[in-house]
Amino acid sequence: MSSSLNKVMLIGRLGRDPETRYSANNTPICNFSLATSDRIRRGDNFEEKTEWHRIVVFGNQAENAGKFLKKGSQVFVEGKIQSRTYQDKDGNERTIVEIIANSLSFLDPKENSYSGQPERTYQQNSKEGETQSQSQAGNAPKFDNEDDELPF
């Protein structure tokens, strides 16, 4: 049986402000770099190792990323790994590896964490290339009177 899987899930912080541009057919494309960190034990000490990832987002999701994310923003990215080759200014062939995002979740806390506003996730709709906004707190229980004192 021959099967494969190309799926990436990352949580990290943006290393620079996102850059949004438009393709020839007016499709928004947003690029940003994402840093992920690991703590590695070296003897009695811990060392932090940071990996950098190139993230590419398309469609309305790209516009949302360009509008709401900035350097230092924390984000969850789900997508696939893709490599491409190009020629640089000197005519040398270069290969880069990118993460093509199909889902983004903005993880930074809101200014007012008690606002009752759910966290937003933007996911690529594979049929039309558009994004759908989904509520993360859609199944959260609703309480009639949250001012009641708890007995513990």
Assign a CATH topology to domain 8-39+46-135.
Answer: OB fold (Dihydrolipoamide Acetyltransferase, E2P) (2.40.50)
pLDDT digits (tens, 9 = 90+) for 85-136: 999 999 999 999 999 999 999 999 875 444 444 455 555 655 444 445 444 4
- Please give the DSSP secondary-structure letter assigned to residue 149: P
Domain ranges of the chain: 8-39+46-135
Q: Reduce the DSSP state of residue 8 to 3 states and report it.
A: strand
Query: Three-state secondary structure along 84-107?
Result: EEEECCCCCEEEEEEEEEEEEEEC
Q: Residues 137-146: pLDDT tens digits? A: 444 444 444 4
What is each CA distance from 61 to 41, 92, 98, 102, 130, in whole angstroms?
38, 33, 17, 8, 7
